[in-house]
Chain A
Amino acid sequence: MNKTLEVAKYEYMHHVSKRRFWVGLFLLPLGMLAIFGLSILMSAWSIDTSPVGYVDQSGLITLAPEKHSKGGLFDERVQLIGYKSIDEATAAANEGEIQAFVVVPANYLSSFKLEYRFIKPINEGIQKEVSNFMRSNLMAGEIVPNLARVQEGPDFISQSLDGSKTNTPNEFLKMFVPMIVGILFFVVVIMSGSYLLQAVVEEKENRTIEVMITSTSPNQLMAGKIIGNISVGLTQLLVWVAMAFIAALIFREKVPLLFELDLSFKSLAVSLLLLMPAFIFTAALMATLGATVTDTEESQQVSGIIILPMTLPYYFVAVFMEHPNGLIAKVLSYFPLSSPVATTLRMAFTNLSTFEIIGIFISQVIFAVFSVWLAGKVFKRGMLSYHRRLKLKDIFSKEASHA
């Protein structure tokens, strides 16, 4: 065990002491900050803050809407304007005075459903504004029936003026967590996986391997390399999460959009839970590849085999949105390389049962254990194969081929 730790420590210090590690550590968050900053800016510019009307058929609205003027680029509050009838509100919308209007039906206190008729689809800002307005009005009375439900706010049934389109509020925001998990998974796994791949191939290239395996067992050596390189990745991850947290604290007042992100604790917890076995699986697979090839150049060519499947969930985003419990979504959430992103994506669009989440997690742990076993086996077979790429039959044959 001590030698495993010595190998892990060396691998960790070897990468952390390199300039490229520090460049990557700070350059990537800066790049992401720039991209997110730009997209938030574009999103803020594109948010329509023109007024939204309302038609009260319930007689519950007694307070006049609060008047406010635009407070800056990120102020997405909208002015609410009351109309007597749906026809009047529709006419105002058609004339461009308002971008949409809300109908408070007569049975609102039993249904808590609002009809939202729009020219431009509803966004989180409007939803929040209308919800607050409804809450203020309902709670203004001395007796508030069904207080808990009132506080929860209304449900929106949203459709265009002509009834041809419906929409749910901002699908992009729902995908924020899966996107972030995906990007972190990509970057961390690819970076530490590449380090691992490189470490194994370099040891073959510079012939250090024979000295190493007469000092420690191949299993200890491989375990140490995996632990060391995963620790490098986790260090990066921790620093980035800390940076994101600090950035959120600094910018939360200035960018209200950040509050609207669908940051479900369950979704985050499941993502993090799945990251570890996925991480081990990928790292072990990289090490396996490293043991089969003969030089760094060849290793870079074959690492694409691992990286490509990780991107699969992004190709199927539309399928995830439409059929989060469909075959493709399910297969990708059990497939080890795509599991963290696919599972989090599914959770954004459907409610996954705890049973299924546990099932996915157990399957990922099994894949991870299998991959480490495979890495050890391939490593033993391929470590002294200096001049020849290891073939599948070599791995499962009785003995390694001639070095």
Chain B
Amino acid sequence: MGRDGAASRAIAATIAALVAIAGVPAAWADGGGKGKPGAGAASPDDAEARRKVAVLEYRAGSTALPGLDRRIAGLLKQQTSLTVIDADEARKDYGARLDAAVVDCGGEPACIAKIGAKVGAREVVLVGVSEFGDVILTLQRIDVRRGKVAVRIAEALAEDASPDDAALVGYLRRVMPENDFLRFGTIKVTANLAGAQVFLGKDPKGKTPIAPLRVHAPATYQIRLTKDGYVPFTARVQVPPDGDIEVDARLTREGGGAWYTRWWVAAIAGVVIAGGVGAGYLLTREPPTAVPGTGTID
């Protein structure tokens, strides 16, 4: 193979290294993780947005609105950035006595808060269903640490009423803080150089190595890395809700060197990268958070 063949392999390798998009482990996604370098960059709001909320149901002799807690948990998972613990998940942590324990609490917030603490939740959304002629639906958001109700609403529904998802979301928006309905994604920027300035749009975010950037989602962001003496790196990424995008930037020296390190090649590469990221996003919208497991006892 001649020189051109070698050059094409070289540029392919370079561009290949310019960006890689991959699912990022969930443990990393909530603002850097414990004890990891750069973990301090996540804002307090991030932890708040990711707080765990358990959805439990308490019925006072009513069979109306069956499965309401599951629907509400599903809507919270779908519409918010909260980590939602539904009754099935709570049962795994608390044990089979969960339902009996909720009944034993009789709706008492401090008692419900103890159950919330046991399942690792910061708040409990207690869905109450009772009947006094009408069906009475109550939603209470209980602060686990304080053992007190933060917000409580009650709705009287017709006996045969069945609120649709929009109605339930309407109730939840009255109970949950507005910020909960903002969703987030994460951009992890890595580079082959330390000290490269990272811009999110026009905002400088720090220098590499840099903690993961937690951003509102869905949204499109421009990532730019600059360092004196190096060709700037630019990428445009679409971040899905709860999605994690990884941008691995490889900055090359300006001038001299191989022809493919010159600025115009990098600019073209940048376009490719942006397209590549888009494609990556479309095809890897939800990086897997779980993988199948099998075992053998032997």
Do chains A and B interact in one complex? no
Q: Which A residues are within 8 Å of any B CB, using their own CB?
A: none
